[in-house]
Structure 1
């Protein structure tokens, strides 16, 4: 059991945050043991064609049979709006001694081959592997994931306001509870430590745990990762909705895309949302853009589409 004692002002310093890097690293649990994560099988099947171009040996070395991951790869985030580029930049500054310590804590005995060698070189390879994994497997789906995680944070804040901290903690997981001024987290592992929450306690919703987890080391900033609400619906195709008149004019699919594209999105993201191929979505997007209803702009590696002024008028929002 891990026990976080809330001292003084720490009682008021309980914050929620979202970490793209946490989600990226914790998802490797599903690579190692997909049977434990049946809700994500649709996503995993969709990634099979790109996994061969990743540094799979390194990525799998970042977990063990108990599905632990190194603490330095699960940093405490400070905002629901944390950016992956910022987290990867911070990761590059990790003390080599911390890298070595945390990898050894996860694996116990001899390190897997990809993790052997000077710590700075190992860290560089880890960052390269995670960056490639993010670009190919996470980035197209992150808006959808982030929306679910941010929705959970909103729900928990409302829960605190309406029912108090004890109720909120008890509903994070059956293994989390507030007892007096201490938060207790029962873990399936043999971790056992008690520490005070100097600097506050951060609660992090995640898509990749079934109950709750904490850092391995008591020296890490206090943090509880818990299962976000609604994970079961994450990979379900989302129906396109549009006014009947607009559907009659453009067709149901193009009308639905026009309605959705008040917020910029890429064809890959839209395909993931709708459960169709990127090629099919691109055909509709090109037709809408040719008709002057969409505009597009490159954003990093992706092309984002959004409604034009004419598209706004046609969708009834102009």
Structure 2
């Protein structure tokens, strides 16, 4: 069990916030382990492709896996700062990259790999003091490759959860909200208890705690309470479990994301970036990025015709679409 004793000032500083970096870390964990989300299923080809990137692999090696250590370095999931939501992701990456080298070394070498050897490239990054910066870069790359395209849909569900719970907070109080987060979470006599398979007690005095609705970790509780200054309690967002009741995207769109799936489907004939941008009402830079991902994944071919570059589906792309 985790027992978190909250003083009155801490209770008064509880707030809600989305944690996009924590979502990315959980999706990356699915890609590493070959796991499937209970609702959304396979994390997708783009997520697995991203594992070829050195900095993404660096982060992936530090995540918890079934049967292994349950601890994941807290520096990878910083508490969302107060402020406008559109700045949260960039601010979280800045916090990851700004982690002091000695803190990164402690969390990675002495906590994550306490009972085993540290992978060579991870140890090199820690010893050179570059681990935090590379981790931030890896998380950004994974987000762009595997999460960004579907984020707006997930964010709508998470925002709806925050809105509903904010109403409950105003109507029934903070105690009611804390008791309603999850069956593994209880609140009584100033103590927040989270059911886990280990024992930990922490006392919060004048600290701030963030309650964060989560999609990727659904239906589990994602707990980060060991350091009061970086305290986040991720709980399963209401609405994720009923996703099956909403219109489901085609399988290819679930694998690649809507935009990349639409572009891939439109490449039976060779087309330029500008042509695709006009046909799909996307910015040319956005189309160029998605085409780069599809090309590196082997799903599209690229060829030059005089002064223009043309893209078309490869045989692998045809096979994925069932053509």
Tell me whether the two structures share a fold, i.e. TM-score over 0.5: yes
Q: Match for residue 196 of structure 1?
A: 204
Counterpart among 144, 159, 175 of residue 150 in structure 1: 159
Match of residue 47 from structure 1 = 46
Contact 2:44-2:146 within 8 A present in 1 as well: no
Give the secondary structure class of the aligned counterpart of 1:111: coil
Deviation (angstroms), 1:61? 0.7
CA pair 157-302 structure 1, distance change in 2 beyond 3 A: farther
- How far apart are residue 195 of structure 1 and its match? 1.1
Q: Secondary structure at the match of 1:39?
A: coil
Corresponding residue SS for 2:31: helix
In the alignment of these two chains, the number of paired residues is: 270
Aligned counterpart for 2:224 among listed residues 195, 215, 220: 215
- In structure 1, the partner of 2:61 is 61
> Structure 1-normalised TM-score?
0.71
- Is the alpha carbon distance of 1:288 and 1:105 closer, same or farther for their aligned partners in structure 2, counting shifts above 3 Å? closer
| 3-state SS of paired residue (2:18) | coil
Partner of 1:112: 119
CA RMSD of aligned residues (A): 3.6
Following superposition, the deviation at residue 207 of structure 1 comes to: 1.9
Secondary structure of the structure 2 residue equivalent to 1:205: strand
Output the CA distance in 1 between the equivalents of 2:226 and 2:11: 22
Question: What TM-score does the superposition give when structure 2 sets the normalisation length?
Answer: 0.70
**Structure 1 position 278, deviation (Å):** 3.0
Gap runs ≥5 in structure 2: 269-273, 291-323
Distance 1:100 1:274, change over 3 A: closer
Shift, 1:224, TM fit: 1.0
Question: What 5-or-longer segments of structure 1 have no aligned partner?
Answer: 241-267, 304-318
Q: CA separation of 1:282/1:182 partners in 2, compared to 1, >3 Å: closer, same or farther? A: farther
SS of the residue aligned with 1:63? coil
- Give the C-alpha shift of residue 206 in structure 1: 1.5
SS in 2 for 1:167: helix
| Equivalent in the alignment of 1:313 | none
Aligned-partner SS, 1:139: helix
Deviations 1:183-214 (A, max 9, x none): 221223x1411211422221111223333232
Cα distance in 1 between the residues matched to 2:190 and 2:31: 38
Distance 1:219 1:63 in 2: 21
* Alignment partners' CA distance in 2, 1:204 and 1:129: 22
Matches of 1:289 and 1:300, distance apart in 2: 10
Q: Is 2:165–2:177's contact at 8 Å kept on the other side of the alignment?
A: yes
Q: 1:38 is paired with a residue of what secondary structure? A: coil
**What SS does the aligned partner of 2:257 have?**
helix
- SS of residue in 2 equivalent to 1:177: strand
Which of 190, 204, 208 in structure 2 is aligned with 1:181?
A: 190
Judged with a 3 Å threshold, the aligned counterparts in structure 2 of structure 1 residues 204 and 100 are, in CA distance, closer, same or farther, namely: same
Counterparts of 1:91-170 in structure 2, within 5 Å, are 91-103=96-108, 104-109=110-115, 110-117=117-124, 118-170=127-179
Q: Alpha carbons of 1:154 and 1:302: their partners in 2 closer, same or farther (altered >3 Å)?
A: farther
Give, in whole Å, the separation in 2 of the partners of 1:300 and 1:35. Answer: 29
3-state SS of 1:211 partner: coil
* CA–CA distance in structure 2, aligned partners of residues 169 and 219 of structure 1: 17
Could you tell me how far 1:232 is from its partner in structure 2?
A: 3.5
Distance 2:78 2:287 in 1: 25
